[in-house]
Each structure stands twice: as structure tokens, then as C-alpha cells.
Amino acid sequence: MTLENNGALYPVLGLASCVALVYMSFGDLALDLSTHAREPEMSFVGRNGTRFTMDGKAFYVNGWNSYWLMDQAVEEISRPRVKAMFQAGAKMGLTVCRTWAFNDGGYNALQPSLGHFDEHVFQALDRVIVEAKRHGIRLLLSLANNLEAYGGKTQYVKWAWEEGIGLSSSNDSFFFDPSIRSYFKTYLKTVLTRKNHLNGIRYKDEPTIFAWELMNEPRCMSDPSGDTLQDWIEELAAYVKSIDRKHLLTVGLEGFYGPASSPEKLKVNPGQWFSTLGSDFIRNSKVSDIDFASVHIYPDQWQVGAGLEEKTKYISGWLMSHIEDGEEELKKPVLFTEFGLSDKSRDFDHAHRDVFYESIFDVVYESARRGRAGAGALVWQFMAAGMQEYSDDFGIVPEERPSMYRLIKKQSCRLMRLSHGRDWMKTKNSEEFCAE
């Protein structure tokens, strides 16, 4: 091809270059407009006594954990996994997904250094929120980690120590060091007031967010009395509510009873050691700015060597004890925000998961049917296909486990029936969904 024979090609190339330049310059704006146009209307979830409510009706949580969503939304090549996960959740009728809204100091860090934020990663979290909304899923966003994964309290303490402002190198100084509390408040304010670059809605005004969680599994073992963690919860919960009173707030507790609990409740713990972790389910959850209590369920870690029947029996009592607390002591909903059965447990079979998970679903459903405080449960954890590197002992790709898929969908149908009433079950959409 010669220039002489293709002189007419120049205007075409010039036009193509201009189009490309315009797209690169205004592509985000175009995405903004198309995203805003496609977003469904959503209402905030609230609380009325021991029940979650939405638009005047009871709202029940049948959900899951995918902690990795923000991380996978950063790079274009991995973003399809986020969409695929929400599509799978919507097909199962799930209502809430719990995920991390933090990543401190590591790869794809939202907060690469103390008080500094990566806009590229923030835009990834924006995408997660918009994608959830498109699929009618709400998000329970966790704001920090007690564990070291994704930075956690360890990273905050390390930063403060390196800056020469930390009181102690102990990880628990996260809870009592005034400087660290101040930096964590900066993080909280930055996240809560973030304006989504895709739809222009600030996070504190975004109904797709079901609730905030102060920290994943907080423990302060240096103070087994629980006073340090209690003070931290009271101060930080009040701070969150001073910025955002539209959203629900929970602590992120595992559910262990501490020294302020009665002897009868202490016996419910998996062992005596669990009362020395510096947390206390009832005392911590009673804080006025905390809207609902959270509980985790991991019998493999608590009853090492026990068989499936023994684990299931123990967990049934664990569930009922906390639902009773929500009903009688707290007057608040109780949400079982993580539960799982390890595939590394003795004589593991995938059918064991079906039996164990169904036992949890049955307790939650019965609580909801009777109008009691058990408000829902979230599986730990769901993955998209091809994500083995993000999995652990509990990871499930729902479509690869048909029996689990059907079990979860059955729970969704039961809870929808309670929320929407019998008339809803007579509609064509409900009949098609629950018959599949």
C-alpha cells in the first residue's frame, strides 16, 4: 500500500484519532451517564426493634462473603469476576454480600501509607458498589481487620511506630493509642464521604450499602477485662454515626462471651480461653450506636477432631443462645455474618456442608418465621470460577456445587415468602424463581 494510492486514508485516520481522543477524554463521563441511567431504585435498610426493615416490610439476609471484590475490581483483566459473582448471587436470590472496604499498605492498597489513598483503588470500590446495585445486591462493608491480612491493625501500628508517633509496638495499641485512633478516623471519614466517580453518590448516601462493620473479628487480648475494646467501640461507633446516620452499623464480633457475661453464657463459649480475648458479645453489642449484633460460626476451629453430628449439635445451641440475647438482652437483630465448614476437617465430604449449612438455615428461618431476632446468615465464602489463589478451607464456587446451589436458593425462597407474603408466592416471577 503506497501513500499515493491511499491519500484519502488520511482524513479517515484523522477522524479515528479524534474519536479515540474524545473517548479517552470523556469515556468516564459516558460511563457515568449510562451507569446512572441503568441503576435501579433502592431503599435504605433500617431497623425496627429486632428486625431489619425496608419500605415498611421485614428484610431478611440470605447472603455471602466475597472479601476480594475491591481487589479484583482494580485491574481490567480481573473485573469480570466481580460481575460474575454478583450475577451468581442474584440468581440464588441472595440479598447481602459482605466484603472488605479496606486494604492497608499492601498490593492494590486503598491506603498505601498512613492517611494517603490510591484513587485508582477507590475507583475499584466504586465499581463494586455500582455492580452490586445493578444486580439488586446490598453490601456489608467491613472497615478494618483484626488480622494481618490486607494490612489490618498491625499495619496501622507499624506505620505509627515508624513515624515515631506510636505509644507501643503492640498490635493492640491500635485500640488505645490516640494518634492511631485519629488516623483511623481520617480513614473512616474519607471512606464514608467518598463520592462515587460513576454515579456521583457519596457512600454515606448510597442505599446499596446495607451496613458498615467497624472491624473484622476485633480482639484485644492485652486487656481481657474488655474495657479497652469497649471504649474503642463506643468512640468509633459514635464517630461513624456523627458522619452517617442513614446506614446501619455493627461491630464485627465473633460472638464470644466475655467476663461481663453471666456464668451460664460463659459455658456457651467453645472453651474457657475464648472469654479472655478482650471482646464480650453482649456488652459490646449493647453500645447505643451499634444497630445489630454479629456472630461467626467455625466449629472446625473450635471443636478440633469432633464429628459432624457433634459440631451441628453444638452450633445449634450457639445460634439459639445469640438469638435469645438479641431478643431478651440487646433488643436488636443478630446477624450470623460468617459461617463455614472446612474441607480440611476429618473425613470431609461436600455432603457434610449441605447438612451443616441446612441446619443453620433452618434455625435462621424458624427465628424469622416466629418474628425473633435471628435476622439472617452469610456463607464464608463464595468465589468466581478460576480463583483458587483466593480460596481457603471454605471457598465455594456455587455453580460447581448443584446441591449447595439448590439449598441456598431454597433458603432465599423461604425468606422471600416471609418478607413479601403469600401473595408474592403466587406471582409469575416468584413461581419461576422458586421452581428452578
Residues 6+ apart with CB under 8 A from 327: 50, 372, 373
Report the distance separating Cα 45 and Cα 50, nearest Å.
13
Active-site hit among 131, 206, 329, 338: 338
Place of cell 480440611: 344
Active-site hit among 131, 206, 217, 324: 217
Q: Which amino acid, residue 141?
A: L
Task: Confirm whether 217 is a catalytic residue.
Answer: yes
On whether the CB atoms of residues 11 and 293 are closer than 8 A, the answer is no
Report the distance separating Cα 84 and Cα 79, nearest Å.
9
Q: Give the residue from 337, 177, 169 showing the smallest Cα distance to 251.
A: 337
131-143 in b/e burial notation, b at 16+ Cβ within 10 A?
A: bbbbbebbbbbbb
Q: Which residues are catalytic?
A: 217, 338
